[in-house]
């Protein structure tokens, strides 16, 4: 499942209100090495923060490698494993012919994932949020701290 050569990335994102001030976090683990990342936006959505957490985690890796990305977001996991390829075939339109929300971040995520394909790709794992999984709980705390620390000088993140 998660052999010694894989990087494990735990991600989370959220907002205070939706839309509202938001934060994202990614924790990268490789053996005993741990790197924590987080960021914040003055106005954004929960879904954009979940996407950003995955993007930032994958983009932080300095070279292609096999990755296990753990998320508590069904939107993120189902979007990248099920929906995104249909959206691409349909010209970034949903089944109801509406523009796909967050297309900019989905495209950036696809590029980040593709970078790791030659090395074994990205395996997407879902975990139940707030269920006691220590690394998921840590990512949640970091994302919430980021959202609570938003200032007027922070950027806006929306389509």
50 is in an annotated binding site: yes
59 is in an annotated binding site: no
153 is in an annotated binding site: no
Give the burial string for 91-105 (b: 16+ CB within 10 Å, else e).
Answer: eeeeeeeeebebeeb
Tokens of residue 89, six digits: 């075939």
Give the containing element (helix H, strand E) for 52. helix 46-59
Give the burial string for 27-38 (b: 16+ CB within 10 Å, else e).
Answer: bbbbeeeeeebb
The three-state secondary structure class of 13 is strand
Catalytic residues: 12-13, 50, 72, 130, 140
140 is in an annotated binding site: yes
Beta strands of the chain (E only): which ranges? 7-15, 20-30, 33-44, 67-71, 122-126
Binding residues for Mg(2+): 12, 50, 72, 140
Binding residues: 12, 50, 72, 140
């Amino acid at each position: 499942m998660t052999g010694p050569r894989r990087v494990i990335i735990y991600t989370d994102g959220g907002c205070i209100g939706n839309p509202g001030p938001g934060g994202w976090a990614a924790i990268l683990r490789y053996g005993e090495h741990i790197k924590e990342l987080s960021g914040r936006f003055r106005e954004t959505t929960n879904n954009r923060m979940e996407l950003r957490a995955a993007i930032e985690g994958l983009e932080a890796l300095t070279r292609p490698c096999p990755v296990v990305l753990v998320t508590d977001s069904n939107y993120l996991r189902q979007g990248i494993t099920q929906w995104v390829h249909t959206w691409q075939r349909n010209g970034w339109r949903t089944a109801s012919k509406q523009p796909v929300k967050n297309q900019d971040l989905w495209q950036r995520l696809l590029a980040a994932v593709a970078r790791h394909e030659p090395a074994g790709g990205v395996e997407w794992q879902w975990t139940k949020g707030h269920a006691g999984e220590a690394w998921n709980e840590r990512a949640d705390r970091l994302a919430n701290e980021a959202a609570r620390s938003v200032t007027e000088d922070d950027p806006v993140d929306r389509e």
